[in-house]
């Protein structure tokens, strides 16, 4: 099945204790029964496997892109690893990332790597408030390039500031698709197949009833 890698990603994240269950306070102040911290994929083998999942999700989405861009700071190792994984999958593309502070010596500027040009796919870990995406989109547009999508690890499918999810807000604001390796739907499917996670399934279900989006675009 085309979606097998999504379940594999959930299992991989749980096995690495990157996806945890319990009680976690989100940026929005909500108490979430689960949390994914992509920053914990901090060894070479884990980062390589994570990048391969990104590459599978990106290629499965079938969108057109000329290069990938990683917003500082979490996007920096991600975009480099994803570029390698895409090349291994037969799709060699340029990549770049930005620094938080513009440099006024050496090569100067705020973008490192390939010049932003053509259709640019943003690679990040998650979308919370959408701040990182907004900054990336503005940077890409300022270079006369075209932001064509965002790739993230997990779509939590919960409301942002209004009735839409943070992902839906980004899609509507910038008219670009958001690709995720996995979604809350995939997480729920995983929990349903694991009897030892019955209590977590119930907690995720309650949380989703309270904060979930009614439909995903």
Whether the ω angle into residue 73 lies within 30 degrees of 0, i.e. cis, is yes
Residue 173, both tokens? 């604001």
Neighbours of 11 (CB within 10 A): 14
Active-site residue flag, 105: yes
Q: Do 4 and 175 meet the contact criterion of CB atoms below 8 Å apart?
A: no
Residue 94's Cβ-count burial label (10 Å; 0-12, 13-18, 19+) is middle
- If we measure between CA atoms, which residue out of 175, 217, 153, 144 comes closest to residue 13? 153
Residue 103 pairs with which residues in a beta bridge? 109
Active-site residue flag, 200: no
The active-site residue, picked from 100, 105, 197, 200, is 105
Residues 6+ apart with CB under 8 A from 120: 65, 66, 67, 68, 69, 140, 145, 146, 147, 148
Where in the chain does DSSP place strands (E)? Answer: 19-25, 31-36, 67-70, 94-103, 109-113, 119-123, 146-155, 178-183
The active-site residue, picked from 27, 100, 103, 216, is 103
Residues identified as active-site:
103, 105
């Amino acid at each position: 099945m085309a979606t097998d890698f999504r379940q594999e990603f959930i299992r991989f994240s749980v096995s690495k204790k990157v996806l945890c269950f319990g009680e976690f306070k989100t940026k929005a102040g909500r108490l979430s029964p689960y949390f994914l911290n992509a920053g914990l994929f901090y060894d070479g083998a884990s980062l390589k496997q994570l990048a391969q999942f990104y590459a599978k999700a990106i290629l499965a989405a079938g969108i057109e892109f000329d290069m990938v861009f990683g917003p500082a700071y979490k996007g920096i190792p991600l975009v480099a690893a994803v570029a390698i994984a895409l090349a291994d999958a037969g799709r060699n593309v340029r990549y770049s990332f930005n620094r938080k502070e513009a440099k006024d010596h050496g090569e100067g500027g705020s973008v490192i790597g390939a010049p932003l040009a053509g259709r640019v796919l943003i690679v990040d870990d998650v979308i919370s408030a959408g701040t990182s995406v907004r900054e990336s989109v503005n940077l890409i547009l300022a270079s006369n390039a075209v932001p064509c999508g965002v790739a993230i690890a997990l779509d939590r499918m919960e409301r942002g500031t209004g009735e839409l999810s943070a992902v839906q807000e980004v899609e509507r604001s910038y008219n670009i698709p958001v690709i995720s390796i996995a979604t809350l739907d995939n997480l729920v499917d995983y929990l349903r197949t694991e009897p030892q996670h019955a209590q977590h399934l119930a907690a995720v279900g309650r949380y989703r009833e309270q904060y979930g989006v009614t439909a995903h675009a």
